[in-house]
Amino acid sequence: MSLLLFWMTAAATRCEVLGLYRRIFRIARIWQSLSGLTDDTLKEKEYIITEAKTLFRKNKNLTDGEAIKICIVECHTRIEMGLHYRIPYPRPIHLPPMGLADKKGRKFKMQERLRKIAKPVYLHSHEET
């Protein structure tokens, strides 16, 4: 009985993951950049496709149910934030805006350093290089 339940949940998870993968490619197909420029649109479409392929391939061997759920939630979050803000890139939502610091000085340099190492709160499965 428990083996049957395991296979049913594994099949449901597999269907959900494949559905997310297809949804990302559908979004990439119709994506329009916020600026409206063709070059920006092409770059963003390429980023969406490359990022999806990279992350799905990286996580394809996950077997832990909790880790898979975290990746699924992260995928949903990135899709919804991208569609809402019309920006496909991860958003470092926990950093102060750059406008608060003067262009010269310690505060500005510290904020620049924080932005370089910043990772969005919802981003768990991908380590930026």
The answer to whether residue 68 is domain-embedded is yes
- Over range 56-75, report the average pLDDT: 89
pTM of the model: 0.71
Identity of residue 3: L
Per DSSP, the residues of 77-105 read HHHHHHHHHT--S---TTS--GGGS-SSS
Of 123, 89, 96, 94, whose CA–CA distance to 112 is shortest?
Answer: 96
pLDDT tens-digit profile of 102-119? 666 777 777 777 766 666
What is the three-state SS of 7-51? HHHHHHHHHHHHHHHHHHHHHHHHCCCCCCCHHHHHHHHHHHHHH
The DSSP 8-state label assigned to residue 125 in this structure reads S
The answer to whether residue 59 is domain-embedded is yes
Q: Which domain holds residue 12?
A: 2-89
The answer to whether residue 9 is domain-embedded is yes
Predicted pLDDT of residue 129 = 34
Of 128, 124, 98, whose CA–CA distance to 110 is shortest?
Answer: 98
Residue 97, pLDDT > 70, answer no
The answer to whether residue 56 is domain-embedded is yes
**What is the domain count for the chain?**
1
Residue 77, pLDDT > 70, answer yes
Percent of the chain past pLDDT 90, that is, above it, reads 37
Higher pLDDT, 25 or 95: 25
